[in-house]
Amino acid sequence: MGQHPVGTREFDAFVAGLDYPMFVVTATDGAELSGCLVGFTTQTSIDPPRFLVCLSERNHTLRVALRAEVLAVHVLGEDQHQLAELFGGETGDETDKFARVSWRPGPEGVPLLDACPAHLVGRVLDHGPLGDHVGFLLEPVEVGASGDDDVLTLEDVADVEPGHPA
């Protein structure tokens, strides 16, 4: 029918008004730890439970996640801008982020950040390219929550300079 995909400018106009919650995704391949700030996530199924996390192709965490059996998805509380800045503004290529935060090993050794109000650990069922990101389909194997409802959002971290170009 002659329809053409919209450009980045038109798409940005649509998503500009959306204020996504922000997450930190952590991974280990058994030898290396990594983690990054993520805004592209969603539940994909109720029964069976499934969750999708998208990692940038340019991100250090992607390289570790591709070798990981599980990923941990951490909800950030509205007062955790500093944590978002560490995991979003620094790159694991240059910085040991885990030396600067309190964490403990979770299933398969994945780092669980102690300060986060909630987390989900998911077994990687599949992954594949989704534009300039790679999507990881997760089967939840552990969920932890404190009941906090106020989360850090995209608008809250607009001032964070990415560790890698977007």
- Residue 157: band (very low, low, confident or very high) from pLDDT cuts 50, 70, 90: confident
Q: Is 2 a residue whose pLDDT tops 80?
A: no
- Cβ proximity of 20 and 39 under 8 Å: yes
pLDDT given for residue 165 in this prediction: 64
123-138: average pLDDT: 97
95-106: average pLDDT: 95
Rounded Cα distance, 6 and 147, in Å? 40
Between 5 and 34, the more confident residue is 34
Within 10 angstroms of residue 8's Cβ, the number of other Cβ atoms is: 7
pTM of the entire predicted model: 0.87
pLDDT given for residue 147 in this prediction: 66
**Average pLDDT score over the chain:** 90
40-45: average pLDDT: 94
Rounded Cα distance, 79 and 84, in Å? 10
Place of tokens 């971290």: 157
Instruction: Retrieve residue 128's tokens.
Output: 């594949």
User: Facing residues of 105 across strands?
Assistant: 111
CATH number given to 10-146: 2.30.110.10
Instruction: Retrieve residue 96's tokens.
Output: 């040991």
